[in-house]
Amino acid sequence: MECCSSHSRKDSHEREWEFLGVVGDKLGERAQAKESSLGECQQRGGGKLNETRFGSRAKDADGYKLWYSRVQRGKNGAGILVDRHLRESVVEVRRLNNRLMTIKLVVGDYTLNVVSTYAPQARLDKEIKMRFWEGLDEIVHNIPPTKRLFIGRDFNGHIGSSANGYTKVYDDFGFGERNGGGTSLLDFPKVFELVIANSSFPKREEHLVTFQSSVEKTQIGYFLLRRGNRRLCEDCKVIPGETLTTQHRLLVMDVGIIIRRKKRLVRGRPRIRWGALTKD
């Protein structure tokens, strides 16, 4: 699941957006998590849901709007959850397949494109993986480079702790050892001039690991944004205490976007200067 959200700062001209990425299995888990682990989402604005088990449609829940995609019955899908403050800003929803979907929001002078991804696991056929990357390629190609783009979250690949060969994609703040899925992930932002947000900040291990079980801990969840918008990302890290399942951990990206408020034209009642009137 990915969740995007926004809240005003003390400076009334700027809003801070938070993109949350989590993975679960059932809508019930998300509804419960919204009240507990994602309670802050009420103060924020939207998000992405991975591995949701429903058809390709939408649901309303306590003011939130959930768009989700599932093509084949019984298969996991992708989804995006938007809070009550942003749901009216959504102008387009596109479901490419059960692994990829996008929404477009218009907020002030800005157009924000949010892409939810659920990459194939390492054990699946190469053809399935190729279709996923071709689909994501199509999505990004159709979004003008001048528009803001945010992609996440489950890529099922390990990029490793060293940025060797991919210094323009991320800094040396990853986790673990790179594998084939991680290389595929790194090749994609390299072509489209994107950066990996959660590997661009020095963090402790607990703030890097997005998947942890009794036998392993890895980094498979990532947020991507345009290299030219890198300064918009103020932080990106895992919240260790916020778990929606026993294994997946909440990933949060903070994005600061300035929203200029329109000045209101105040019209007062016409004033008559009685003292200036003379009697004929």
- Whether 120 maps to a domain, the answer reads yes
Q: Which of 71-75, 118-122, 152-156, 200-204 has the lowest mean pLDDT?
A: 71-75
Using pLDDT thresholds of 50, 70 and 90, give the confidence band for residue 64: confident
Assigned domain for 140 exists: yes
* Residue 238 covered by a domain: yes
Two tokens at 14?
């700027």
Tell me the CATH number at 224.
3.60.10.10
Contact 251, 18 (CB under 8 A): no
**Within-domain flag for 274:** no
- pLDDT at position 22 over 50: no
- What single-letter DSSP state applies at residue 118? E
Range 251-273 average pLDDT: 69
Whether 278 is covered by a domain: the verdict is no
Query: Is 35 part of a structural domain of the chain?
Result: yes
Which H helix or E strand runs over 134?
helix 126-141
Please tell me the distance from the alpha carbon of residue 119 to that of residue 224, in angstroms, as a whole number: 14
What CA–CA distance (Å, rounded) separates 52 from 95? 13
Q: Between these two residues, 262 and 234, which has the higher pLDDT value?
A: 234
3-class DSSP assignment, residue 220 = coil
Stronger pLDDT, 100 or 35, i.e. the higher one: 100
pLDDT digits (tens, 9 = 90+) for 73-104: 555 678 888 887 888 889 999 988 889 999 99
Q: Is residue 276 domain-resident?
A: no
Q: Residue 204, exposed/middle/buried by CB under 10 A (0-12, 13-18, 19+)?
A: exposed
* Domain contains 23: yes
Total-model pTM: 0.77
The model's pLDDT over 175-195, given as tens digits with 9 standing for 90+, comes to 999 999 999 999 999 999 999
Domain count, the chain: 1
Domain that holds residue 34: 2-260
Mean of the per-residue pLDDT values of the chain: 77
